[in-house]
Structure 1
Amino acid sequence: MAAYEGMWAAFVAAGTTANWQDPALAAHATGLALSTLTRGLYADAYNGLVTRGEPILDPVVSSVEPEDEPTTVVVADCGDDSDWLKYTADGQLADDVPGGRREINAIVERQADGAWKVSDFGVHGVGTC
């Protein structure tokens, strides 16, 4: 859970300046998850957008593999991004699309060095949970 929550905290922090190169992202995410985060932040930086606020998370462990000595944990969440929105550089709300509660699924894996990192995640549409 620490890796999952740490990934979102790092993404929130990096989003305030659209810093797609923030090293804190790689401390909690790897593979597809890291690529998704950095690409999103790069697009925001390119388009002059930043995020303000933060999502409300409610994660739970939905499964572990193998059960005796887990190396993979699946996290299920119903995150609320109603107060985590994109803004232009001059402080204007970037669009009129409201946030809301979204289903989030994530795979967290133990790395070769023993660290746990999110390797993949999916965020579904508003109203999916």
Structure 2
Amino acid sequence: MPAASTSSSPAITSSLADQAKEAALAAYRGMWQDFVEAGYTSDWQSSKLGQYATGIALTNLSRGLYADHYNGLVTKGAPILNPAVSSADPLNAPKKIIITDCGDSSHWLKYRADNGQLADDKPGGRQLINAIVEKQSDGTWKVTDYGVHDVGTC
């Protein structure tokens, strides 16, 4: 009886790529979830912010929250996210994944911390978001940079 073929490298490669994409998407969602939680009190020093973000992304999250804290603002609600992987590099065993999203900030607005009044003069809406998510040396995936475009860009 001939030996069964044990060659499964295409399946393994595909599985590694799929796992990387799922991990990158989870990191992207986790970053925004932690940012939303920190935004309730504008906690720019939240230790959770570094859980799924690093580098420029972490700096931008912290700076945004610090600005809100300094200006007496908090954020209520949450964005609606619809992320998708737009590219993976290298394709078979990604270390860098680009995510494209059309986030909706209609129910994620800034309020005055002192009186609870709405501080946003714009109602929010659908915004194009691009993010770079990279595999870290410890094997975790973190958002390293992101850009949020103007309302109405998607």
The 5 Å alignment of 1:89-100 reads: 89=113, 90-100=115-125
CA distance in 2, matches of 1:104, 1:118: 12
- Among 67, 74, 80, the alignment partner of 2:91 is 67
SS, match of residue 82 in structure 1: coil
Output the aligned Cα RMSD: 0.5
SS, match of residue 28 in structure 1: coil
More helix by share: 2
Partner of 1:113: 138
TM-score, normalised via structure 2 length: 0.83
Structure 1 gap segments, 5+ residues each:
none
Structure 2 gap segments, 5+ residues each:
1-24
Greater than 6 Å deviation, 4+ residue runs: none
Partner of 1:18: 42
* Identity value in percent: 64
Deviation, structure 1 residue 68: 1.4
CA distance in 1, matches of 2:141, 2:45: 20
Partner of 2:148: 123
CA distance in 2, matches of 1:96, 1:76: 26
More strand by share: 1
1:53-106 CA distance string (max 9 Å, x none): 000000000000001110000000000000000000110001321100000000
Q: Which has the larger radius of gyration?
A: 2
How many residues are treated as equivalent by the alignment?
A: 129
Partner of 2:67: 43
- Among 71, 80, 85, the alignment partner of 2:104 is 80
- Among 57, 64, 69, the alignment partner of 2:81 is 57
